[in-house]
């Protein structure tokens, strides 16, 4: 499905692997646990996470490193439909997912610095994974160029939400050639990058203000849980912290990561 509910999005987190799901799942499971047994030590209440803010009506503004104006307009509109905002939380656009994808494409990963690119290029089986000659950046640019040319009369960003959903579902279904990029492959890469940008650490340019972590109750990258290791059956409810966040709450970016702080 293209338009997804929060429940569907959270189910999709499983595809991200162990870096997010186990702690997020444990946080939710803790709510269902019974009260501590008499043998358990009483626990001091953990700091309470701040309440969810109302979703912003405008998306953050970025200086893109990779996307041109037309590409940025498509990406912003597409991620806004893939993970839309609701009455309580912002969606992918508000979380800065377009910024994450832009920085990803502008990086060495986007340039395919570790990809084997000597061929032969031929159709592979689903179990063989990615088989195209394009680097990630080439794949996105080629596909978006074809999409923007096809929709030159009414650009994707100016379509109604219903028409945008229909178009994205068409890409997902496959059968369309986007300048040599199969539409289903482009959609799969776009969807994966959208999930990554929504749930990853803010140091990489997405998940602005740790929006998705606060939505999930995921505590983030705490260095130590020593004060809680012998406390059982309690809910861990603490504001999340970033990989690069110091004790004062500031995020110090790795100079090798071309990301933008919240």
* 46 CA to centre of own chain: 28
Is 70 exceeded by the pLDDT of residue 197?
Answer: yes
Give the model confidence (pLDDT) of 106-121 as tens digits. Answer: 999 999 888 888 877 7
pTM: 0.72
Which pLDDT belongs to residue 195? 97
SS3 sequence of the chain: CCCCCHHHHHHHHHHHCCCCHHHHHHHHHHHHCCCCCCCCCCCCCCCCCCCCCCCCCCCCCCCCCCCCHHHHHHHHHHHHHHCCCCCCCCCCCCCCHHHHHHHHHCCCCCCCCCCCCCCCCCCCCHHHCCCCCCCHHHHHHHHHHHHHHHCCCCCHHHCCHHHHHHHHHHHHHCCCEECCEEHHHHHHHHHHHHHHHHHCCHHHCCCHHHHHHHHHCCCECCCCCHHHCCCCCCCCCCCCECCCECCCCCECCCCCCCCCCC
Which pLDDT belongs to residue 11? 45
109 vs 17, residue with greater confidence: 109
Rg of the chain, C-alpha, whole Å: 20
Give the model confidence (pLDDT) of 55-106 as tens digits. Answer: 444 566 788 999 999 999 999 999 999 999 999 999 999 999 999 999 999 9
- Residue pair 99/202 in contact by the 8 Å Cβ criterion: no
Quick one: what percent of the chain has pLDDT higher than 90?
46
| Alpha carbon distances (Å) from 217 to 23, 25, 50, 236, 243 | 9, 9, 11, 9, 16
């Amino acid at each position: 499905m293209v338009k997804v509910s929060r429940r569907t999005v959270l189910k999709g987190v499983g595809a991200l692997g162990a870096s997010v799901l186990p702690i997020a799942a444990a946080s939710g499971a803790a709510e269902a646990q019974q009260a501590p047994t008499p043998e358990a030590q009483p626990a001091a209440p953990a700091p309470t996470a701040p309440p969810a803010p109302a979703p912003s009506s405008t998306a953050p503004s970025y200086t893109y490193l990779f996307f041109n104006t037309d590409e940025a307009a498509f990406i912003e509109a597409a991620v806004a439909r893939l993970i839309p905002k609701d009455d309580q939380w912002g969606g992918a656009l508000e979380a800065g997912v377009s910024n994450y994808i832009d920085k990803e494409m502008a990086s060495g990963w986007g340039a395919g610095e570790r990809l084997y690119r000597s061929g032969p290029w031929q159709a592979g089986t689903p179990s063989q994974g990615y088989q195209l000659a394009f680097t990630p950046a080439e794949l996105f640019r080629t596909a978006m160029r074809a999409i923007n040319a096809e929709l030159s009369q009414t650009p994707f960003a100016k379509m109604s939400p219903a028409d945008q959903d229909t178009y994205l579902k068409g890409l997902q279904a496959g059968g369309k050639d986007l300048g040599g990029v199969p539409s289903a492959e482009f959609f799969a890469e776009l969807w994966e990058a959208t999930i990554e940008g929504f749930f990853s650490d803010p140091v990489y340019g997405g998940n602005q203000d740790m929006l998705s972590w606060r939505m999930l109750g995921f505590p983030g990258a705490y260095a130590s849980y020593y004060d809680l290791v012998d406390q059982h059956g309690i809910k861990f409810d603490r504001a999340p912290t970033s990989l690069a966040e110091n004790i004062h709450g500031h995020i110090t970016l790795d100079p090798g990561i071309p990301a933008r702080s919240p």
